[in-house]
Amino acid sequence: MTLSAVNVRADYPVAVHGSVQADIVFPETDNSIGAGPYDHKILFNTYADVNMASRYVDAGLRAEFMKWPLPGYEEDFAGWGLSNFYVKGKYKGFELTGGDFYEQFGSGFILRTYEDRALGIDNAIRGGRLNVNAVKGLRLTLLGGVQRRYWDWSKHSQVYGANAEVYMHDYLSALSERNATWMIGASYVLKHERDEMILVPGTTYRLNLPKSVNALDVRSSFNKGPWNVLAEFAWKGQDPSFDNDYTYGTGTAYLLSGSYSKKGISAMLQAKRSYNMAFRSQRHVDGISAFINNMPAFTYTHTYSLPALYPYATQYGPGEWAYQGSFSYLFPRKSKLGGKYGTKLTVNANYVSSLVHKDAPAGLNGSIMGTNGARPVDNFFAMGACNYYDINVQVEKRFSAPLTMTFMYMNQLFNNEVGKIVEKDEKYIRTNILVADAKYRFNRKYTLRGELQYLFTKQDQKDWAYGLLEFSWAPYLMFSASDMWNCGDTGTHYYMFGVTGSYRNNRLMLSYGRTRAGFDCSGGLCRPVPAMHGFKINYTYNF
């Protein structure tokens, strides 16, 4: 992002920067893919923000206009107005913010507020925050306010939090002398929400809802040279909500992560166990909004189209065991497998299973509402049915100065009874996917890139094929044409043609074609995206 600076004084410059983003669709009804009909001829999401930064004071605001938003967003997403504003004061290690802000404690198990425009998430806290970094080796954060849910800042629910991180290497010379770092952190979050009338179905029994819900998180990380280790534990108090069928069990999350990285080789292994960790500022809300926390999915984020057809979303309520590992190695130049330019091999593996639960206690009128719910069995390591797994191998090879190719093989299993992204009555969807990606650089300006992908499966809509051709004239223009073809069942083609232009701080993309109904996923949350046929305009401007 480019900054425009105004020098008020030579020692204290003021920088003003901002952006404009507009995503516009002219939709067409297409019954063959289930697109439409639409109530409006034009659908759009638009954002404009401006920020000022100086030595002692920062400030900014953002306006949004989504009166007729793009398809697939939740109903309350529609609206317009001034959505975000803040003023921040900074002085000698103290930072005080008033207005809207984003924050994350640790891995986000009990607090993570952020913006993701593709998903339609903006759960910023509107209130006050104090960051203290005035003491060497110690960082403190205190905050409080109300959370945004689309165009609602409910005063009936407040969020408060505190976070402390101690960097032991600043106090222990034995660590600093060996270039090792050791952090110990602890966090606390309190949600206060007013009471409401919730009855057990078929009875006149009203639930006694807690007005305050506490959550704790402790963690420690150690780093030395290429090694990094992180351990984290989170706990959430009784929080009956829509996500857990209004039961009163507590929630827990455990994380253990280790990684190794140096030139030419890297490896990572992670394990996570979570249960009943849905933590929202409004207990009756479902969908992807109003989350105070975030439980990331331990699955590989695919950027190729066909490997991303069956994404996995974190199971917040019933919980899960999740494992993730990756290994990458660069075969050196002039070796047998490296060849003239070297070869990069990457292996990724992910496995997610359900927890094994005890039988739910008997409640009123056959409902589990008001009980402690179906708790996990006493065996901490017990695992249930597989929810998802993905094993993929990628090889990146440069064959000549202008030609680079990437090959990928992927084996995947998706439990549709858990993920529920396919309407057909099929428990497991098993896929094998092949990808070939080639890029040829004629010179510094002109590049041609192509993709071929094929997905084999006997479930859902059977096999898929995908092809893409892309020509770019850096840094100004890029032309693309693609087609996703359901060659195993319906025979439907999802074609797309596009041109993208960039000039200075402007970027304009025009495209026309079809998109398949599916899901847009990030950070363990998924938004359903309906099928679309039409003309699209995407424009961004940064200053």
Q: What is the pLDDT along the chain (543 residues), one digit of tens a residue?
A: 334 444 444 566 899 999 999 999 999 999 999 998 999 999 999 999 999 999 999 999 999 999 999 999 999 999 999 999 999 999 999 999 999 999 999 999 999 999 999 999 999 999 999 999 999 999 999 999 999 999 999 889 999 999 999 999 999 999 999 999 999 999 999 999 999 999 999 999 999 999 999 999 999 999 999 999 999 999 999 999 999 999 999 999 999 999 999 999 999 999 999 999 999 999 999 999 999 999 999 999 999 999 999 999 999 999 999 999 999 999 999 999 999 999 999 999 999 999 999 998 888 888 999 999 999 999 999 999 999 999 999 999 999 999 999 999 999 999 999 988 888 788 999 999 999 999 999 999 999 999 999 999 999 999 999 999 999 999 999 999 999 999 999 999 999 999 999 999 999 999 999 999 999 998 899 999 999 999 999 999 999
Tell the residue number behind the tokens 């110690």, with chain if given. 138
pLDDT of residue 363: 86
Contact of 144 with 159, CB cutoff 8 Å: yes
pTM for this model (two decimals): 0.93
Helix (H) or strand (E) holding 196: none
pLDDT at 5: 44
Give 207-221 pLDDT, tens digit per residue: 999 999 999 999 999
Residues linked to residue 366 through DSSP beta bridges, in sequence order: none
DSSP 173: H
What pLDDT score does 155 carry? 87
Give just the sign of the alpha carbon dihedral 356, 362, 366, 368.
Answer: negative
**Cβ-based neighbour number of residue 450 at 10 Å:** 15
Distance CA 341, CA 334 (A): 7
Produce one character per residue of 480-499: b if its CB has 16 or more CB atoms within 10 Å, e if not: bebbbbbbbeeeeebebebe
Give dist(CA 373, CA 362) in Å, integer: 9
Q: The dihedral of CA 290, 74, 528, 122: what is its sign?
A: negative
The two three-digit tokens of residue 92, written as one number: 């000698």
Instruction: Give yes or no for a contact between 455 and 485, defined as CB atoms under 8 angstroms apart.
Output: no
Structure tokens at 231: 């351990």
CA distance 3 to 306: 38
- Per the DSSP assignment, residues forming a β-bridge with 119 are none
Distance in angstroms (rounded) separating the CA atoms of residues 12 and 438: 49
- C-alpha distance from residue 159 to each of 64, 132, 188, 197, 211 (Å): 24, 20, 11, 21, 12
Whole-angstrom CA distances from 146 to 99, 129, 152, 230, 525 are 10, 12, 10, 31, 22
Place of tokens 């497998």: 337
Contact 251, 273 (CB under 8 A): no
**pLDDT at position 530, please?**
94
- CB atoms < 10 A from the CB of 319, how many? 23
Q: What is the pLDDT of residue 11?
A: 63
- The helix, strand and coil proportions of the chain, stated in percent and rounded to the nearest 5, come to 5, 60, 40
In the beta sheet, which residues pair with residue 160?
A: 144, 190
